[in-house]
Amino acid sequence: MKKSLLLIALLSASVAFAGPPAPKKEGIEGKDYKWNAQEGEKIEALKLKGDKKRGEEGYEICGACHLPSGAGRPDGTFPQLAGQHTTVLIKQMADIRGGLRDNPTMYPFAVTLTDSQELADVSAYIEGLCIPIEHGKYEGADAAIQITKGKDLYEKQCLECHGKNGEGDKAKFYPVIAGQHYKYLLRQMTEIRDGHRRNSNPDMVKIIKPYTADQLVAISAYQASLTMPGNMCKTKAGKKK
C-alpha cells in the first residue's frame, strides 16, 4: 500500500525532506493576527463531509506516533487524538501545515494529506474513535490536593470554554481535553502561556498568562482526571461497548 511505503521512507533517516515552512510572523504576537481566520484549506475542509472509511486509510501513517487507537503516549510526546472534534483537528492540522503552529516532528507527515477532502476524512475518522480510559495522570503523592486546587481554578476560568467534563465546544473550535495525558497538558499550557504556540486563542492566553508553574501543575492534574460521558471507551482494549 502506497501510504505504508511512504511511512517507511519517511521514517528512514536517509531520505532528505524539505523542512517545515518558516514560522509566520503572524500569531499572537503579530499585530494583524486574527485568531482562527476563516480562510484557506481549513474552511474548505470544514464544509466537506468526511468519509470515515477513507479516513481510516489516511490515518494509517498517523498511528505510528499517535497509535492506531489514537491514544497517544502518557509521556506527553504525542497527544491523544481519539474523540477530538473535527473542527479542532482540522484547525490544528491546517495551522501546522500553514506554519502557524510549529510542529517539526509531525510536519512531513501532516503534508501527506493531499487535499481538504483528505483532511476532512481523517478528522471524521479520529472524531469517531472512543477516548481511551487509560491515560497519563498526575502521579504525585499529593494528587488529591492538586486535583482539588486545579478544579477550583478550572471551574472559575476554563469551564466556560472547555466544558464541565472537558468536552470542549465543537462549533467554537475549543478542544476536548478529557482523556488527554497529564504531561501533554502541562507542556501545552506552558507553551501557550509563554507565547510559543502561536495559533492560540488570545482570550485563553490572557487568562493563563499570570499562572505560576504550580498552578499549571494543579490545573493539568485536574484536567487529566476528567472523563467525557458517552465518548470514553468502555474497555481497556478500546471498544466503545
Residues that bind ligand HEC (CB under 6 A): 61-62, 64-66, 77-79, 81, 89, 91-93, 103, 105-106, 109-110, 112-113, 122, 154, 157-158, 160-162, 173-175, 177, 185, 188-189, 199-201, 203-204, 207-208, 219
Rounded Cα distance, 238 and 69, in Å = 7
Cell numbers at 224, concatenated: 487529566
To ligand HEC, the closest distance from the beta carbon of 50 in angstroms equals 12
Which residue, 43 or 65, has its beta carbon nearer to ligand HEC? 65
Comparing CA positions, the residue from 95, 204, 76 lying closest to residue 138 is 76
Q: Find the shortest distance in angstroms from Cβ 115 to ligand HEC.
A: 13
Cβ at position 241, least distance to ligand HEC in Å = 25
Asked if 52 contacts 124 with a C-beta cutoff of 8 angstroms, the reply is yes
On whether the CB atoms of residues 27 and 191 are closer than 8 A, the answer is: no
Give min distance, CB of 81 to ligand HEC, in A: 6
Residue 198 in grid coordinates: 502561536
C-beta of 158 vs 233, nearer to ligand HEC: 158
d(CA 28, CA 30): 6
In the structure grid, which three cell numbers stand for residue 119, read together? 483532511
Q: Which is nearer to ligand HEC, 101 or 238 (CB)?
A: 101
Whether the Cβ atoms of residue 61 and residue 8 lie closer than 8 Å to each other: no
* Cα distance between residue 48 and residue 58, in whole Å: 16
Q: How far is the CB of 34 from ligand HEC (least distance, A)?
A: 12
| Per-residue cell: 83 | 474523540
The residue (of 62 and 233) whose beta carbon lies closer to ligand HEC is: 62
Supply the minimum distance, in Å, between the C-beta of residue 132 and ligand HEC: 14
Question: What is the spatial distance between Cα 144 and Cα 142, in angstroms, rounded to a whole number?
Answer: 6
Closest approach of Cβ 195 to ligand HEC, in Å?
13
Q: For residues 105 and 122, what is the distance between their CA atoms, to the nearest angstrom? A: 19
Please identify, using beta-carbon distances, which residue of 74 and 175 lies nearer to ligand HEC: 175
Residue 29: count other Cβ atoms within 10 Å of its Cβ. Answer: 9
| Residue (33 or 143) nearer to ligand HEC, CB | 33
Closer to ligand HEC by CB, 33 or 133: give it.
33
